[in-house]
Chain A
C-alpha cells in the first residue's frame, strides 16, 4: 500500500471508532423513549404519525404480536412496491417513458427491497422511472432498515426485561428508527454527497454531443434523476441497491474519493454503533465493546487479504508488461485500497453496494467478500440483522463453552436452555443451508448453468455468490451471472424470503422466551462474557461454523480457480 492508501484506511477506522459511542448511546436513548436533542422537532411529528396511523404508542406487544406486526408491515411494503413496478408506465415522473417491469422481475425486485437485500436483476438507468426509484426503492430502503433495527432492539429487550412477555411496540420502534436516526442522517449526508457531484434533479436525460466528432454515435444520453436522496439511505440502511446499474462505481453515485470515504463510513456506522446501543441497554458497555472487537478484527483481516490479493494482480498478465495490480472492474479515483475497503464494508454488512466489480476480483480476492457474506454478515452486519445474528452466535458460544467447562450456560443473566439453542441454530444456519441447496439445484438445471458468464470454477463462484448474497440479504453480485431469468428471479426471491424472515422470527421467539426468564445474578460459577477469553472463543465459533459449512463449496470455486490461475506455482 502507498502512503495515500494507508492514510485513508487509518482515517476511516479512527473516524468510525470515534462515532460509535455518541451514536450508540443516542440510539439507546431513542429506543428507551428518552428526551434527545431532536425531540423538540420530531416528537410532534412522531405523535402526529401515531394518530394518523391509529397506533397506540403505549401498548406493549408480546413476541407473537410483535412478529405479526412486522410481517404485516413487510407484506404491505411488498405489495405496494410490486404494484408500483408493474404500473410504472402509468405513474408520474417517468420522463424516459420506461415500460413496466415484467412480473417475475417485479416480484424478485419487490422481495429484494422489502427484505433489505437489494439484489438487482435490472439496471436502474435503463429500467426504472424516477417515481419507482423514489416512492418505491428509497422508501423501502428506509423501512426495511428500520425493520431490522426494530428486531434487534426487541432482541436486546429480551435480555434486559425480566419475567414479562412484552418486548415493546413494533410500530414505535419502526417509527423512531426512521424519524430519529435514518432520516436526519440521510438528509445531511445527501447534501454532502451533492457537494461532491452526486446528482439530484428530476430532469429528463441530457443529450450531449461528444467532443471527438468521429465517434459513432456522435451524441449520447446522460441519465439524470434524484440520486443523492437515495444514495444516502442506500449506504446508511445497508441496503445497497444502486440508482444506476454500476452502483457506487458510477460517477454520479460516487464521484470523488471523499464521497467514497463517506459512503464506506455510512455503511458501517449504524451496525457498528448498535453494539454500543446494546452495551448501554444491557447496562454493561463492555459486552458491546467485546462484540465490536470481534467485528473489527474480522474486518481488518479481510481487508488485508483482499488488498494483498488485488495488489498482487493477475500472474497470467504480468508477463506482458502491465504495471500495477488488478484494475479490471475498478475505478481510478478510488484506487485499490478505496475499492477493497468498500468491498469488505459492503459484504461484512448486508449492504451489497459495490464500487468495484466483484466478478473481476482475483480468485482469493473474491473469496473475501464471499466468505464475509457466508459467515452470516456479522462483521458489523446489516442494520439490526448484524447484531441479532451476532447475539445468536454468542448464545451458541455460551452454550458450547458451558458444556466444555461444566458450567450452567448463562448469557447476560439469562439461562440458556434448549429452546434458545434451537432458535439460535435456526438463526445462524438457515441462510447457509439455503445457499448450499439452492446452488446445488442451479447446477442441475441447464438453463441456470447457461446464465454463468465465466467458464469453469469461476462460473461456480458466480452461482454460489449469487445465492449467498440473496439468502443473506446482501445484494452484491458476481454480476456476470445473468439473474433476470425465471429460475433466478423466482428461486432467488424464495432464498431472500427464507434468509430474512426465518432468522427474524427465530430471534423474536428467542427474545420472547428470554424476557420471561428471571434474572440470575453473576456468581463464581458464571462464565464472564465481557472478557477476552470469551470474546476469542466467540470469534472461533463464528470461524469454525463458517468453515465447516462452506469449505467444500469454496474449494471447488475460488480456491480451484486460484490454483488454475497460478498454474500450480
Chain B
C-alpha cells in the first residue's frame, strides 16, 4: 500500500518535472539561443512571404527548377503532415515499376548515361530537402535551356549552393534544392 502511494506520487511529480518543467526550460533556452532553428528554420521570399522551411523539401516539377528526390508521402508528394517512406522492399514489383518510370522521365529530358541513385529512389521521410551534387549536375542542361541561361552560369549556382561535409568530416556533400531554386529565381530573369 505504501509502495502504491509512492508510485502514484512519483508519477505525478516526475510528470511535472519531465513533462512540464524540462520541456519548458528547453523551449525558453532554445528560443533565446537559437530562435531561428527552434521555430523551424523558415525561409521567406523577396516579399517577406513565408515559403517553407530550409529543412523541409518541396515538390518541383517544372523544367526551369531543379527537381528534388521522389517522395512517397500519402495524398501528394512532399506532404509535410504525413512524413513517410515508400516501405517498398527491394523485390516489390511496384518499386521496379516506379524506378523505371523515374528513369524514363529523366531520359525524356535528354539525359544520357548513368542516373544517380538518389534521383530514382524515394527518401525515408518523403521530405528530404537535399540531392547529391551529381544529381544537380545532371539537371543543369535542362534548367539552362528552360531559363535561357548558359550552362556555366547555372553550374555556378550549383557550386555556390553545394554544402560540403559538416566540419569537413561528417556526412556527404549535398545540395539544398529549395535554396538552389530560390537563388535561381532571385538572380535570374525568365525569358
Q: What 0/1 readout, one digit per residue, does chain B (164-183) give for beta carbons within 8 Å of chain A?
A: 01110111101000100110
**Nearest chain B CB to A170 CB, angstrom units:** 8
Q: Does A187 contact B (CB under 8 A)?
A: yes
**Contact between A125 and B51 (Cβ–Cβ < 8 Å)?**
no
Would you call B88 an interface residue if the criterion is a C-beta within 8 Å of the partner chain's C-beta atoms?
yes
Closest-CB distance, B5 to chain A (whole angstroms) = 6
Q: Are B6 and A54 in contact (CB under 8 A)?
A: yes
- With contacts defined as CB atoms under 8 Å apart, how many contacts are there between chain A and chain B in the complex? 377
A252-B56, A323-B115, A456-B91 known; A80+B11 contact, CB < 8 A: yes
User: In whole angstroms, what is the CA distance A176 to B51 when docked?
Assistant: 46
Does chain A have a CB within 8 A of B144?
no
Question: In the docked arrangement, what's the CA distance between A555 and B56, Å?
Answer: 40
A359 CB within 8 Å of chain B: yes
Q: Is the CB of B124 within 8 A of A211?
A: no
Q: Which of A178, A244, A339, A363 has the most CB of B within 10 A?
A: A244
B38 contacts A194, C-beta separation under 8 Å: yes
Q: Is the CB of A4 within 8 A of B169?
A: yes
Q: Is the CB of A171 within 8 A of B6?
A: yes
A:33-91 near B, CB below 8 Å? 49, 52-55, 65, 68-69, 72-73, 75-77, 80
Chain B residues with CB under 8 Å of A363's CB are 89-91
A76: which B residues are within 8 A, CB to CB?
4, 7-8, 11
Contact B91 A316 (CB under 8 A): yes
B-chain residues with CB within 8 Å of residue A55 when the two chains form the complex: 6, 10
Q: When the two chains form their complex, are residues B3 and A211 in contact, meaning their CB atoms are under 8 A apart?
A: no
Is the Cβ of A220 less than 8 Å from the Cβ of B80? Answer: yes
Bound CA–CA A246/B78 (angstroms): 12
Expressed in whole angstroms, the Cα–Cα distance for A478 and B90 within the complex equals: 12
Q: Is A454 an interface residue (CB 8 A)?
A: yes
Distance to closest chain B CB from A66 (angstroms): 10
Q: Are B115 and A321 in contact (CB under 8 A)?
A: yes
CB distance from B22 to the nearest CB of A (A): 6
Q: At the interface, yes or no: A355 with Cβ under 8 Å from chain B?
A: yes
1/0 per position for B110-134, CB-CB distance to A under 8 A? 0001111110111111111111101
Least distance between B100 CB and chain A CB atoms (Å):
7
State how many residues of chain A have any CB contact under 8 Å with chain B: 127
Identify which of residues 287-338 in chain A touch chain B, using a CB-to-CB cut-off of 8 Å. Answer: 313-314, 316-317, 320-335, 338
Partner of A360, one of B34, B65, B89: B89
0/1 per residue, A200-229, Cβ < 8 Å to B? 111101101111101111001111101011
Cβ of A49 and Cβ of B27 under 8 Å apart?
no
CA gap between A330 and B59 in the complex, in Å:
18
A321 to B114, alpha carbons, bound, how many Å?
A: 5
B88 touches A359 (CB 8 A): yes
**Residue ranges of A at the interface with B (Cβ–Cβ < 8 Å):** 2, 4-5, 7-8, 11, 49, 52-55, 65, 68-69, 72-73, 75-77, 80, 123, 125-126, 134-136, 138-139, 142-143, 171, 174-175, 178, 183, 186-187, 190-191, 194-203, 205-206, 208-212, 214-217, 220-224, 226, 228-230, 244-246, 249-252, 255-258, 260-261, 313-314, 316-317, 320-335, 338-339, 354-357, 359-363, 366, 453-458, 461, 478-480, 561, 564-565
Selected A-B contacts with CB under 8 Å, 13 pairs: A198-B37, A199-B38, A210-B52, A211-B185, A212-B60, A220-B79, A226-B27, A252-B56, A321-B103, A328-B90, A329-B121, A332-B128, A360-B89
Residues of chain B at the chain A interface (Cβ within 8 Å): 2-11, 13-15, 17-20, 22-23, 25-27, 29-31, 33-34, 37-42, 45, 49-62, 65, 69, 76, 78-93, 95-96, 99-100, 103, 113-118, 120-132, 134, 165-167, 169-172, 174, 178, 181-182, 185
